[in-house]
C-alpha cells in the first residue's frame, strides 16, 4: 500500500492529447506531467502569477524525481535542482528536448 505513495523516476514521453514532449512521473501517488524546459527565476515567477504549478527536480544519477517546489526551495537556489512548470496542452513542446541531467565525460589528462 505504501509503495503507491512513493515518488518514481520521471520519464520523457509524449502527451496523449497534444503530442508535445513532457516528463511524466508519480509524486506521492499522483501522476504529474511537466514541461521539459528549465525555468529561470523570472519565468518561474511569471508562471506562478499565472496560477500554474511549479515542480522541482531531485537528481538521481542521470535521472530525476519530481518534488513540490516551495519558497524554501526558491530561496535555497540549489544548482542541482531545476524548476519545471506543469504541462499545459495549450503550450506544447514539439521538439525533443535535451536531457536535464547528463554524466560529464571524463577529461583526458594533458601530459
Summarize pLDDT for 54-84 with one digit per residue, the tens.
999 988 888 899 998 888 877 777 777 889 9
Q: Is 91 contained in some domain?
A: no
- Tally of CB atoms within 10 A around 28: 12
Q: Is 31 contained in some domain?
A: yes
Q: What is the spatial distance between Cα 77 and Cα 98, in angstroms, rounded to a whole number?
A: 22
In terms of residue numbers, what domain contains 31? 2-85
Strands (E), the chain: 11-14, 21-27, 30-34, 54-60, 63-68, 83-85
| Whole-number pLDDT of residue 74 | 78
pLDDT surpasses 60 at 85: yes
Q: Is 27 contained in some domain?
A: yes
Q: Mean pLDDT in the chain?
A: 84
pTM: predicted TM-score of the whole model, two decimal places:
0.80
Q: Is 109 contained in some domain?
A: no
pLDDT surpasses 60 at 101: yes
Q: What percent of the chain is modeled with pLDDT above 70?
A: 86
Q: What is the spatial distance between Cα 27 and Cα 39, in angstroms, rounded to a whole number?
A: 20
Q: Going by C-beta distance under 8 Å and a sequence separation of 6 or more, which residues neighbour residue 23?
A: 10, 11, 12, 13, 33, 34, 35, 36, 66, 84
Q: Is 96 contained in some domain?
A: no
Q: Is 97 contained in some domain?
A: no
Q: For residues 110 and 65, which has the higher predicted lDDT (pLDDT)?
A: 65
What confidence tier does 111 reach under pLDDT thresholds 50, 70, 90? low
Q: In total, how many domains does the chain have?
A: 1
Residue 90 cell numbers, joined: 495549450
Q: What percent of the chain is modeled with pLDDT above 90?
A: 45
Mean pLDDT, range 84-95, rounded to an integer: 88
Q: Is 107 contained in some domain?
A: no
Amino acid at each position: 500500500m505504501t509503495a503507491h505513495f512513493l515518488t518514481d523516476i520521471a520519464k520523457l514521453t509524449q502527451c496523449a492529447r497534444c503530442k508535445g514532449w513532457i516528463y511524466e512521473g508519480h509524486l506521492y501517488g499522483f501522476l504529474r506531467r511537466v514541461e521539459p524546459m528549465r525555468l529561470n527565476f523570472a519565468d518561474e515567477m511569471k508562471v506562478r502569477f499565472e496560477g500554474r504549478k511549479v515542480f522541482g527536480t531531485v537528481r538521481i544519477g542521470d535521472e530525476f524525481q519530481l518534488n513540490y517546489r516551495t519558497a524554501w526551495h526558491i530561496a535555497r537556489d540549489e544548482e542541482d535542482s531545476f524548476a519545471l512548470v506543469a504541462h499545459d496542452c495549450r503550450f506544447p513542446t514539439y521538439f525533443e528536448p535535451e536531457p536535464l541531467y547528463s554524466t560529464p565525460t571524463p577529461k583526458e589528462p594533458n601530459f
